A and B are shown apart, each in its own frame.
Chain A
């Protein structure tokens, strides 16, 4: 049976330290932003947003929400808008893959993505002298003018498959394929694995009663779930509804 790789992020454990974003950038050869880079023009496959419950002191509470590509399973918005066929859902893994060489830079996918999880290369990648030695050989750097996003550290899947093939196995050892953000999280808030394997921890956690997914009403079946026992945190998932209702009321 093909795999369906997914993630569960425990928001009650996340401290917002940002380790995942750094590990992600290092793993995936994301260059440091040039002078003048902003939140909108920089590249952060993994990004930690801060949210609060809107109450004043002492009732105020905050939560940190790591957001990356949710690897939408159905009606994947970036796939359907791409005029270049530069995005596809791998039937074997469920990973939404971006092919920079095909991308023409129109950025429809960025507009279509409900999670703002896609980024554009406004500059050619440049590393400060000497730092190019730290580049990961398993990930090819992207050029200026193309969109990119999280692909669950696909280079690590390659490595795991290669190791399995050398041992004569068809299937990888799940322990060999762990994305960088999962590995780096000091509170172990992120769990990764095959959602199609009912025995896997990620499959169990995604069915937990604390589990929720962002914008699940869109029907895109994202493969990244979140956990929280706090009701206000879970309500973040549908916060956009409030805006829609406002727009409806305005007419």
Chain B
């Protein structure tokens, strides 16, 4: 009887913790594949390109983000390599003049305002500081979307408890604020919200 009194709450705790730390995250996120596979490594390593060669700014200093099909087609108007994905890209997107519906890992909620120019051009922060080793990866990892909020998992970071995360992981307001506090920049809400 006594043993039962100790074991039962412990078992309950174990069930609860398992549900919270293992089952909940698994249920919370839906995994989606990117429409095409793309190797950043081939472009940055073999191709010798820099991030800004494709992810550039427009004349007003706005970050353009993912390049358009037309930009890619300046090299890939025809199939250059031997991969199936490039062939599909040329046939399905370049020749039909469509944009690839990429899923953006770092897409922020609509009310967040993030100027790349202030951070990268003026602040001199490297892309890797927030985007990690994205530019050296050979494949596009699966995109995970929060079923409740619809936001990418990259915003929260891979760990539900936010423990043991890489320094570049997490794009929550807390993560922005941490750096902004240290450097004493941007004190008003509307500096980063719109």
Contacts and interface: CB of A to CB of B under 8 A. Distances in A.
Interface of A: 88, 90-93, 95, 97, 99-101, 138-141, 151, 154-155, 158-159, 161-168, 170
B67 interface: no
Given A163-B60, A166-B57, A139 B115 contact: no
Contacts, number: 68
Contacts of A164: 61
A101 B111 contact: yes
B60 A140 contact: no
B110 interface: yes
A139 B194 contact: yes
A165 B188 contact: no
A164 B115 CA distance: 11
B108 to A, nearest CB: 11
Contacts of A141: 110
Nearest to B187: A91
Most-contacted residue by chain A among B57, B110, B111 (CB, 10 A): B111
Interface in B130-150: none
19 contacts: A88-B189, A91-B188, A92-B188, A99-B190, A99-B193, A139-B194, A140-B111, A159-B62, A161-B115, A162-B61, A163-B60, A164-B61, A165-B115, A165-B121, A165-B122, A166-B57, A166-B117, A166-B121, A168-B121
Interface string B83-124: 000000000000000000000000000110101011001100
A88 B190 CA distance: 9
Contact of B122 (A90, A140, A168): A168
A165 B61 contact: yes
Contacts of B194: 138-140, 154-155, 158
Contact of A167 (B61, B113, B189, B190): B61
Contacts of B60: 159, 162-163, 166
B188 A93 contact: yes
Contacts of B190: 90, 95, 97, 99, 151, 154
A163 B61 contact: yes
A26 to B, nearest CB: 16
